[in-house]
Amino acid sequence: MGNSPRGRRTAPSVIARVLVLCALASLLLGGTAHADGVSSGADVQVAQTLGTRDLTVVLRRMDIAPGPLHVDVVTHAGSAPGTLKLRASTAGTTFSETTVRLDGKPGAHPALLKVDQPGPWELGLDDGTDTASIPFIVPARVIPPWEKATFGGFVAAGVFLVIGLVVAMRVRRPQLALIPAGGMVAALAVAITGAMLSASTPAPPAPGAALDPTIDNIQDPYANAQMSTVDFSRPPVNLAVHSANPKAGSLADVRLAVADGATGRPVDDLLVHDNALIHLVVISPTGRLWHLHPVRVGPGDYRVKFTPPEAGTYAVAAELARRGGGVQLVRTTLPVAAGTDSPAEPVPAGAGARIVDGNPVDVDVKTGTPTTITARFGEADLQPWLGMLGHLIVVGPITDGSRVGADAAAAPTWAHVHSMIPQSPGMPGKPDETVAAYGPDVPFTYTFAAPGKYRIWLQAERDYRVLTVPMQIEVPPGGAPQ
């Protein structure tokens, strides 16, 4: 019977049915398995103190290049009207530019630029007087090896299926069809294994965060992904602050030179950390605070402008993050000569209930244990600022409340504490400043390591205006509440 024509017809038909069933199984399994790819990016929010304007530049998510780059320039209350020119450039060449007209009203001002390739880019800002440059990464679609194995396995299984069907139907020895059938089963095993394991496999290294952003590793992040086995961290930076003869009551143009602590070369690998390249905190002699965000004008060269209201020693602290080096805080001082001084308002002192915007601030101070400071800012209409609900700056212990700037420069503790945005269902990522639906309570938790007198500043945003509330508290020894 096996050598009869009927037997020869039956064998290939059975093998063909087996191959078809395998193909159906591959389709069914392939439809339920998911291979993880690489996130093509997210919105990038960068705060910029450009001249006398406080801006937040939002680079909207790009899926792939070439394509449009949507940019929102968010202005704050008191921002002067004018024209802002935006440029998208790569390798020193401007690819596209546009103009944004600032009407003096706070809010988002949209702009549209174009980029033609993935890789490192720069967004230039120019208001006719001051310029800034924001580095950013245009992502490429990267297919991880396990995803390639998954799709490659299904493609190979399809090819083996066709070969097996042809052999089973055309060749006199249908048993030869078992060879491509075995290849198809092996290919399916590779594809299904890759698909099932893809959920637990790590994502490729992200250029711009884990790797230095170059065009090579944007396309293939595995090209230069080898980490040092000794020490892959970056040295700390050196910060030099200079301003030409700053005087009280006059606009000071401050230059920040950021250099590598080992080589002395300009540092140009800063990451956007908490929505800024550099968070600059400046404290005046009487305790006024500025939370500024210097603009980048070149490698290691940052600029910022502010008007010091009084003469004396100003404490300056810069918080930044280097690629591979983590978050760093560097401090220095800035002397300001006498000019047109303006007296400062008295600062509330002592622990207990304080008033912010007509509402209490609860401070239950203890040494060595977490302290929660809760401020109630009016209604539930606060906006995120720098990606957070609120910010708390802590400096101390200080010795003389009349020389806060000099004391703050030498204070052992500088802290920047955040009140996080509550998670909202259906809202991926961090909302920008156009969302006003938070508060009114803004809680901060911090542990005071030593007793003494501290200056703190609570900050939140409403109606595109940053509210800064100074306080002075006394942290008692021994952990007993004041």
pLDDT at 63: 75
Whole-angstrom Cα distance, residue 104 to residue 82?
8
pLDDT winner (highest mean) among 21-25, 99-103, 142-146: 99-103
Residue 303 has pLDDT above 70, yes or no: yes
> Mean of the pLDDT values across residues 161-166?
82
> Mean of the pLDDT values across residues 380-400?
91
pLDDT at 333: 94
pLDDT at 351: 44
Arithmetic mean of pLDDT over the chain: 81
pLDDT at 314: 95
Q: Smallest Cα–Cα separation from 318: which of 363, 285, 354, 270?
A: 270
Residue 250 has pLDDT above 90, yes or no: yes
Whole-angstrom Cα distance, residue 72 to residue 292?
20
Q: Are 389 and 382 in contact (CB under 8 A)?
A: yes
Higher per-residue pLDDT: 198 or 125: 125
> Mean of the pLDDT values across residues 56-83?
91
Higher per-residue pLDDT: 274 or 22: 274
The three-state DSSP-derived secondary structure of the chain is CCCCHHHHHHHHHHHHHHHHHHHHHHHHHHHHCCCCCCCCCCCEEEEEEECCEEEEEEECCCCCCCEEEEEEEEECCCCCCEEEEEEEEECCEEEEEEEEEECCCCEEEEEEEEECCCEEEEEEEECCCCEEEEEEEECCCCCCHHHHHHHHHHHHHHHHHHHHHHHHHHCCCHHHHHHHHHHHHHHHHHHHHHHHHHHHCCCCCCECCCECCCHHHHHCCCCCCCCCCCCCCCCCEEEEEEECCCECCCCEEEEEEEEECCCCCECCCECCCCCCCEEEEEECCCCCEEEECCEEEECCEEEEEECCCCCEEEEEEEEEEECCCEEEEEEEEEEEECCCCCCCCCCCECCCCEEECCEEEEECCCECCCEEEEEECCCCCEECECCECEEEEEEEEECCCCCHHHHHHHCCEEEEEEECCCCCCCCCCCCCCCCCCECCEEEEEECECCCEEEEEEEEEEECCEEEEEEEEEEECHHHCCC
Higher per-residue pLDDT: 464 or 344: 464
Residue 186 — pLDDT band, cuts 50, 70, 90? confident
What are the φ and ψ backbone dihedral angles of 277, each rounded to 5 degrees? Answer: -75, -40
pLDDT at 429: 63
Q: Which two three-digit tokens encode residue 63?
A: 């899926």
Least confident piece of the model among 17-21, 47-51, 211-215, 372-376: 17-21
pLDDT at 235: 82
pLDDT at 36: 29
pLDDT at 378: 80
Residue 230 — pLDDT band, cuts 50, 70, 90? very low
Residue 358 has pLDDT above 50, yes or no: no
pLDDT at 232: 54
pLDDT at 173: 75
Residue 394 has pLDDT above 90, yes or no: yes
pLDDT winner (highest mean) among 38-42, 206-210, 351-355: 206-210
Whole-angstrom Cα distance, residue 86 to residue 232?
35
> Mean of the pLDDT values across residues 431-447?
89
pLDDT at 260: 92
Q: Are 44 and 137 in contact (CB under 8 A)?
A: no
Least confident piece of the model among 2-6, 182-186, 255-259, 326-330: 2-6
Residues 90-135 pLDDT 10s = 988 999 999 999 999 999 999 999 999 888 899 999 999 999 999 9
Residues 323-357 pLDDT 10s = 877 889 999 999 999 988 887 766 655 444 444 55
Least confident piece of the model among 45-49, 248-252, 402-406: 402-406
pLDDT at 347: 67
Residue 193 — pLDDT band, cuts 50, 70, 90? confident
Q: Which two three-digit tokens encode residue 97?
A: 């530019």
Residue 313 has pLDDT above 90, yes or no: yes
Residue 160 has pLDDT above 80, yes or no: yes
Residue 13 has pLDDT above 60, yes or no: no
> Mean of the pLDDT values across residues 444-466?
91
What's the sign of the alpha-carbon dihedral 160, 162, 163, 164? Answer: positive
Q: Are 479 and 368 in contact (CB under 8 A)?
A: yes
Higher per-residue pLDDT: 476 or 212: 476
pLDDT at 31: 41
Q: Which one-letter amino acid corresponds to residue 265?
A: R
pTM of the entire structure? 0.79
CA-derived radius of gyration, the chain? 30
How far is CA 316 from its chain centroid?
Answer: 23
In angstroms, the Cα distances linking 205 to 145, 197, 223 are 13, 18, 10
pLDDT at 17: 52
Whole-angstrom Cα distance, residue 281 to residue 353?
26
Least confident piece of the model among 10-14, 187-191, 413-417, 459-463: 10-14
Residue 364 — pLDDT band, cuts 50, 70, 90? low
Q: Are 434 and 455 in contact (CB under 8 A)?
A: no
